[in-house]
């Protein structure tokens, strides 16, 4: 996570810290070496932060994860030397970026491996709307922006429903979800004509589930995003959960000149796109998952109350205040 532990481009690392079933030996970010994650950035993890590959290896690390998800998903050229050293010294690598690192670093491998998470299958079927024939509840996480907390909220809902004994499935569609679950589709690396078909295929595999949570990507509000439409067409969702960064009134840089639409109008837009004038599956928005990062406790609670008043829907920050409100509305 070099240079990213205190930045939202480090969301790959943050996701693994929160959800990984495997022990995390350390985080690499030289800016905070000698501290724990809790001491460095206030997140509730006592994972040590080190400054080099060699220190990580001395702690018996076996696998290195590239813990960033920058705009465009490009491998940082300044990481070439440290990644080369890691592979040469026997570490395996999990790469969630777009670049094919087997092609770039494969010559350094011995018994270790590189998992290029965003490598799609050669082809996927063209979507035909088959998911609409399923009898389950299909909940798509949608967002007002990129990095609004769609994966985190979806995984929290999945975990909570599973604990309650609900027959629930989760369809990962991005690098973090795929890394955590060991399956899924790298939606933003799939040919646009096949993207909805890839989603449909993944959702149909979960046909035996009573409830399916589909990890969202992008936003209909973002001029650089094309991911939400194939998710809607492929999943034929019955419901949405809206994810929104409560402290933000505009989209993230580099499109921060564009305001985030009013939540009520944005909910109507997504529902209208799903229904296509009545010709496809009607999707009802069940609640709002707010990301209240950057707000103090009192302001965060006020934002939750404000969003509930404005939308008439239950709202919560699933990390700060729990998922119970959203779970209740899902299983009604």
Helix or strand (DSSP H, E) at 102: helix 101-105
Q: Which two tokens stand for residue 296?
A: 């103090």
How do residues 163-211 score in pLDDT, each as one tens digit?
999 999 999 999 999 999 999 999 999 999 999 999 999 999 999 999 9
Q: What is the value of pTM for the model shown?
A: 0.92
- Quick one: residue 224, left, alpha or beta (phi over 0 = left, psi -120 to 50 = alpha)? alpha
How do residues 261-317 score in pLDDT, each as one tens digit?
999 999 999 999 999 999 999 999 999 999 999 999 999 999 999 999 999 999 999
How do residues 122-137 score in pLDDT, each as one tens digit?
999 999 999 999 999 9
Q: What CA–CA distance (Å, rounded) separates 130 from 97?
A: 31
Q: 61: closest CA among 15, 93, 18?
A: 93
Q: What distance lies between CA 186 and its chain's CA centroid?
A: 11
Q: Which residues contact 112 (CB under 8 A, 6 or more apart)?
A: 87, 90, 91, 92, 93
Domains and CATH numbers, the chain: 8-116 (3.40.50.720), 130-331 (3.40.50.300)
């Amino acid at each position: 996570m070099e240079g990213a532990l205190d930045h939202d481009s480090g969301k790959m690392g943050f996701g693994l810290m929160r959800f990984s079933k495997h022990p995390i030996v350390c985080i690499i970010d030289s800016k905070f070496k000698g501290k724990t994650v809790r001491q460095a950035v206030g997140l509730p993890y006592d994972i040590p932060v080190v400054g080099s590959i060699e220190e990580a290896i001395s702690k018996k690390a076996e696998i290195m994860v590239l813990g960033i998800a920058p705009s465009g998903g490009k491998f940082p050229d300044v990481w070439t030397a440290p990644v080369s050293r890691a592979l040469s010294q026997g570490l395996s690598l999990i790469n969630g970026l777009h670049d094919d690192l087997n092609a770039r670093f494969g010559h350094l491998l011995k018994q270790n491996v590189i998992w290029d998470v965003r490598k799609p299958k050669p082809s996927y079927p063209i979507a035909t709307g088959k998911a609409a024939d399923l009898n389950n509840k299909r909940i798509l996480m949608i967002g007002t922006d990129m990095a609004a907390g769609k994966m985190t909220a979806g995984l929290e809902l999945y975990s909570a429903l599973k604990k309650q004994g609900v027959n629930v499935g989760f369809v990962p569609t991005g690098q973090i979800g795929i890394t955590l679950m060991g399956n899924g589709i790298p939606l933003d690396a799939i040919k646009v004509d096949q993207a909805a078909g890839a989603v449909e295929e993944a959702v149909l595999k979960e046909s035996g589930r009573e409830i399916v949570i589909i990890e969202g990507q992008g936003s209909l509000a973002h001029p650089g995003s094309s991911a939400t439409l194939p998710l809607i067409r492929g999943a034929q969702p019955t419901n949405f959960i809206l994810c929104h960064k409560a402290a933000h009134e505009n989209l993230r840089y580099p499109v921060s000149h564009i305001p985030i639409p009013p939540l009520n109008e944005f909910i109507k837009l997504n529902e209208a796109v799903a229904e296509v004038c009545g010709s496809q599956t009607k999707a009802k928005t069940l609640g709002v998952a707010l990301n209240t990062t950057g707000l103090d406790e009192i302001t965060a609670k006020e934002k939750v109350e404000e969003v509930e008043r404005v939308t008439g829907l239950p709202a919560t920050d699933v990390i700060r205040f729990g998922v119970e409100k959203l779970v209740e509305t899902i299983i009604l």
